[in-house]
Amino acid sequence: MSIGVLLVEDNHSLANTLVDYLELEDIACDHAATGPQGLQLAMQNDYDTILLDINLPHMSGLQVCESLRKAGVDVPVLMLTARDTLDDKLAGFSSGTDDYLIKPFEMSELIARIRALANRRSAQARVLTVGSLTMDLSTKNAMRENQQLELTPTGWRLLELLMRASPDVVSRRRIESALWPDDDIPDSDVLKVHLYRLRQQVDKPFRTQLIKTVANHGISIRDKEE
């Protein structure tokens, strides 16, 4: 299946070269030449990866990335830039980027990084959304249909894990490792209790059920049956 990327780059010669090369590698590429154009396309369309230059007209790549993360967009971002100091890299990661590639770069390395990023979602998103359910990781606030959810600390970690993986199924083993990372896994009934409490908060007061148990596989949270 073809990978879809968004390239936000104001150097038209470089952009044309990248678009042509990516298409030869079966990677479909949309192009924007300014920060605002890139932000608009990223908000409107579904991409597997975003390639983002830092020095852009009207809105820097760092500002674009920050805006995407605040909006809950979890598409991986690969920064393309000539800036190679540690402070520049830290600023990029702080804004929400997932990877960093210094210009000039080899095309083969760019392709490898795109394919690696396209296989996952970014962990940098600060707002997670599934249907009418929203988690704001910055304010530690969870809402569904404008109703605030009162979650326990364990319930919060469990819900974040499920929402980051959505709509994929999360195995029981992965859940237990995330909740109890020191291998001090309690009796199996403890996880059942936490899942029950989470369902009471997330699903019981509402018409549609988001948390699904997939027999012999694990738990998922999704807005629609798939």
CATH code of the domain covering residue 168: 1.10.10.10
Q: What is the count of structural domains for the chain?
A: 2
Nearest residue to 146 (alpha-carbon basis) of 93, 224, 206: 206
pLDDT of residue 168: 85
Dump pLDDT digits (tens) for 10-63.
Answer: 999 999 999 999 999 989 999 999 999 999 999 999 898 999 999 899 999 999
Give the Cα separation of 143 and 150 in Å (integer): 9
Q: Is 160:128 a contact under the CB 8 Å cutoff?
A: yes
Q: Is 123:116 a contact under the CB 8 Å cutoff?
A: no
Dump pLDDT digits (tens) for 206-218.
Answer: 989 999 998 888 9
Same domain as 137, residue 110: no
- Between helix 172-179 and helix 153-165 the angle, nearest 10°, is 140
What is the domain extent for residue 55? 3-118
CATH code of the domain covering residue 74: 3.40.50.2300
Cβ-based burial of 87 (10 A; exposed 0-12, middle 13-18, buried ≥19) = exposed
Give the Cα separation of 190 and 203 in Å (integer): 19
Rounded to two decimals, what is the model's pTM?
0.59
DSSP state of 170: B
Q: Low-confidence residues of the chain, pLDDT below 50?
A: 225-226
Residue 226 lies in a domain: no
Nearest residue to 32 (alpha-carbon basis) of 44, 173, 226: 44
Give the Cα separation of 81 and 74 in Å (integer): 21
- In the predicted model, what is the mean pLDDT of the chain? 86
Same domain as 180, residue 83: no
